[in-house]
Amino acid sequence: MVIKETLQHREAVRGGKGTVDFYHVVPKDMTDDYVHMFAKLVINPASSIGRHQHVGETEPYYILEGEGLFTDNDGTETVVRPGDVCLIKNGDYHSIENLSDTEPLSLMAVIYKQD
């Protein structure tokens, strides 16, 4: 089976600023109850995903390109670059911001259920 990615442009994601492009690798209607999302996210220049919480699920981010500012559950801010992994555990809050005014910040994200 070959699946073509689908693109979704979203504004002010989770109360963030600017736009984020979601390239859904596996459409939600094709995942089981265990996987909520599997997508490449492109956070456009001067854009962000606002602070939000994951309840009953875990989400790792794998940074592909660009430079961002990841804010962890306890408010710790860390500059992230390609090859870094941000792990958001069940119950954690987080946010991420593209630090560039000209270059995108790209990452792979998988949200899966966690007891």
Of 38, 40, 45, which Cα lies nearest the Cα of 18?
45
pTM: 0.93
88-113 pLDDT, tens per residue?
A: 999 999 999 999 999 999 999 999 99
Closest by CA to 30, choosing from 5, 55, 8, is 5
Contact call for residues 99 and 88 (beta carbons, < 8 A): no
pLDDT in tens, 6-17: 999 999 999 999
Apex 54 CA angle, 53 and 58, nearest 5: 140
Parse the chain into domains and list their residue ranges.
6-113
CATH number, domain 6-113, options 3.30.830.10, 1.10.238.10, 3.50.50.60, 2.60.120.10? 2.60.120.10
